[in-house]
A and B are shown apart, each in its own frame.
Chain A
């Protein structure tokens, strides 16, 4: 789901960089508001490397297999660091495998990163209604199970909505800016079929994000604190 070089008009590429600049500035501002971020940089960097590498994991769906986008999961785990992480990951991907491109880096980063930040905020909603002073409960008590359900549910929503919105933006950009005079009906049919194709992927991404969030909640809950 990366847009390569040469497809989009220059205006869209420049607008993508403009939007990425703006969202990066906002993300850095939010990161700096929580004090000196230098202790968070190594964590965010190593997790960025791990996410980049993990995007090569294939999920076997016999008779074929798919690979996950993980943008919602990035938002869930990294919070506002997700946007710079996606920017860096896409830059590496353009370098390593030629996925995406340098002129479309801004567009691709916005397409993946903004839904990732939305996924972060959706995941933060798990705390709404629960007592702020309540400690993470990891045992099999009622509290522990309720917390796990909340983590799983909001991670599922974050993961699936993150991918669904990215797919929506991707489809919109490709259909409206590809220099081809498709008629209105063809465009509509293409949009609908692309979105229907992405629906099961969004559900899969959500399920995977939920499973992983519950795993991290049990094993290393501080990874999900959302800083």
Chain B
């Protein structure tokens, strides 16, 4: 499991890195939803341009985007590549039963454009904000304490749990699990052993959580409720926020003022 890539933050001193996290989260979130509302193909180029400008402003390396986009990109390609051959009326090219249709191609570009823009905005957010800062920003926006604490604790133990599972799986393989070559049948015993593996992982995690809770209590967990501090807002952050909110609203207004499409 690719847990080594979990920390997506790329240190830097760009305007987007210093953007007040709370405002950055709200602004980029609004833009993402505005992009999700786009249904006109004419809005795809400005959407991609705005995303590119924000990415350039973030000063994140291009390789970061390529690496992050490769897996979900492959997934979406599989989904949308069917569209040009399956939907629409206007046939552009035909070869036997295979027909390339204009409406399908337009839908494919629309989905790909939205996907690329929204995902890139998400990576800008994660690439310019450390995970813990992002969580603090979410907390200041009203995320319940229980969820914030659970997220932090799960994040803290994710890597160790993954390590524990990989050690257990290695031991299983060394004891012969998965070595017999079976052609077409799932063995009940295999399923039982995998259930035992996950069960043991759960029991170990549960027992560890009891020790963790005792340690947390000794350090005063739950005794002192500190209010969430909100950092001051600088002029650059205010400018970026204003620009993003206006851009998001413009996209929504233009989208709904254009004649309805059937894409």
**Mostly helix, strand, loop or mixed at chain B's interface?**
helix
Q: Which of B8, B111, B131, B262 contacts A6 (CB 8 A)?
A: B111
Known: A10-B37, A102-B32, A180-B83. Contact between A43 and B195, CB under 8 A? no
**Which residues in B have their C-beta under 8 angstroms from that of A48?**
150, 154
Q: Mask for A68-108, Cβ within 8 A of B = 1, else 0?
A: 00000000010001001101110110111111011100000
The residue on A at minimum CB distance from B69 is A98
Spot the interface stretch: B14-22, B70-78, B92-100, B239-247.
B70-78
**Which residues in B have their C-beta under 8 angstroms from that of A88?**
147, 150-151, 154
Q: Are B191 and A207 in contact, CB atoms less than 8 angstroms apart?
A: yes
The residue on B at minimum CB distance from A56 is B1
Q: How far is the CB of B74 from chain A (nearest CB, A)?
A: 10
Q: Which of B104, B146, B221 contacts A180 (CB 8 A)?
A: B104
Q: Which of B88, B116, B155, B216 contacts A92 (CB 8 A)?
A: B155
Q: Are A62 and B183 in contact, CB atoms less than 8 angstroms apart?
A: yes
**Which residues in A have their C-beta under 8 angstroms from that of B221?**
38
Q: Are A62 and B184 in contact, CB atoms less than 8 angstroms apart?
A: yes
- In the complex, whether B107 has a CB less than 8 A from a CB of chain A is yes
A interface size (C-beta, 8 A): 70
Q: Are B104 and A41 in contact, CB atoms less than 8 angstroms apart?
A: no
Q: Are B110 and A4 in contact, CB atoms less than 8 angstroms apart?
A: no
- In the complex, whether A146 has a CB less than 8 A from a CB of chain B is no
* Chain A interface (Cβ < 8 Å from any Cβ of B): 4-11, 13-14, 24, 28, 31, 36-39, 41-50, 52-54, 56-57, 59-63, 77, 81, 84-85, 87-89, 91-92, 94-99, 101-103, 179-182, 186, 204, 207-208, 211-212, 215-216, 219-220, 223
* Chain B interface (Cβ < 8 Å from any Cβ of A): 1-3, 5-6, 8, 29, 32-34, 36-37, 39, 68-69, 71-72, 75-76, 79, 83, 86-88, 103-104, 107, 110-119, 122, 125-126, 131, 144, 146-147, 149-155, 157-158, 161-162, 165, 169, 178, 182-186, 190-192, 194-199, 201-203, 205-206, 208-210, 212-213, 216, 221-222, 262-263
